[in-house]
Structure 1
Amino acid sequence: MARRHLSSDEQALWNALARSVRPLRPGTRLPEQPSLPLPASGAPTRLKGQPPAPMRPDPPRTPAKVLDANWERRIRGGTLTPDMTIDLHGHSLSAAHVRLNQSLATALTRDARVMLIVTGKPPKSGGSGGDPRRGAIRGEIGHWLETSSYADRIASVRLAHPRHGGDGAIYVILRRKK
């Protein structure tokens, strides 16, 4: 199978990810640039007559870092109580980005641990006539969080429990002050 080189955007994302990883064994190095396998036709492969895989909404791109069992149980059970909530849906992308950064700064000064960020539901798959801009904030929120000046203070990003908005919201768990 042929291999392709990363685009400049993919390379920048890889470098950001590589900088955020701590090796299990000291002295272990990550490869400088991974090469991705490319299908022979350049298109996703599927068997003839097989329907295409359904499109699922992408979760925020910020990696879900490991939390202890207590946090996981509280998230799964919906017993997590957000210290701060912001609602971004209905805002323009630039206004939502500014509001997110202001809210992160406020949460950190208040020593908040859990932020609930309402982004709005992801776009509905299938059917035509829907708003093509639907889900724009949700599509960008992961990138905004990982490139934020507060990224090192974010412990984890998770989809919210249905009682807090489900697919239309995320929890941002902030690290304690050092």
Structure 2
Amino acid sequence: MARRRLSPEEEALWQALSRTVRPMHRVRRAAPPAPVETPAPSTALPASWLTKPVAPAASAPPARTPAAVLDTGWERRIRSGAVSPDMSIDLHGHTLAMAHARLHQALGDAVARDVRVLLVVTGKPPKTKGLNDPPQRGAIRAEIGHWLETSPFADRIASVRIAHPRHGGDGALYLILRRRK
């Protein structure tokens, strides 16, 4: 069966998707052996002197990023509102600097207490005046993604999701934290 070519739009979508995929298990590949040069017959060096030991490349483990999709159990619980936050913090009404400091402190407390679900209330965005006006985001909501990415606890965040309406809906977020190892 002949394979069809992807359209430019499909190719762009495929490239965007493939950048988000992470392997389940890292496969360690050995470096190809370096070619060994043989000395001229006039030199009498031992063969062990001719090859240099190759030191393994030390690389930092990749940073863990929040998952776009959780397993079906979590997805179902979030959609139905069955998730109950273990801890919550209300940031709306604070300045950006104060909200950032409070979020950082709350994340530290949540990690120390091994909390699984942290509810972060950011406040709902201001209402738009006209029908053709673009939707707006509040200042805290606009910055919270950056704050979470640059936080020292970023590797402990498994996912960030919009809260169920009973917990604040668009004005709140669930931070699903990874368990301690």
Interval of TM-score (by shorter of Structure 1 and Structure 2): 0.5 to 0.7
Alignment RMSD:
2.7
Structural mapping, 1:147-158, within 5 Å: 147-158=150-161
CA distance in 1, matches of 2:87, 2:162: 16
Name which of 118, 122, 139 aligns with 1:119: 122
Count of aligned pairs? 123
TM-score, length basis structure 2? 0.61
What is the CA distance between 1:159 and its match in structure 2? 0.2
Unaligned runs of 5+ in 2: 1-18, 29-64, 131-135
Matched-pair contact (CA < 8 Å) for 2:124–2:170: yes
Unaligned runs of 5+ in 1: 1-17, 28-61, 128-132
Give CA-to-partner distance per residue, 1:84-129, whole Å, 9 cap, x none: 00000000000000000000000011110000000000232344xx
Name which of 49, 69, 90 aligns with 1:87: 90
What is the CA distance between 1:134 and its match in structure 2? 6.8
Matched-pair contact (CA < 8 Å) for 1:64–1:158: no
The amino acid that maps onto 2:84 is T
SS in 2 for 1:115: strand
Residue aligning to 2:22: 22
What is the CA distance between 1:167 and its match in structure 2? 0.3
SS in 1 for 2:99: helix
- Seen in structure 2, the aligned counterparts of structure 1 residues 65 and 126 have a Cα distance that, compared at 3 Å, is same
Residue aligning to 1:176: 179
Q: Which runs of 4+ in 1 moved over 2 A?
A: 20-27, 62-66, 123-127
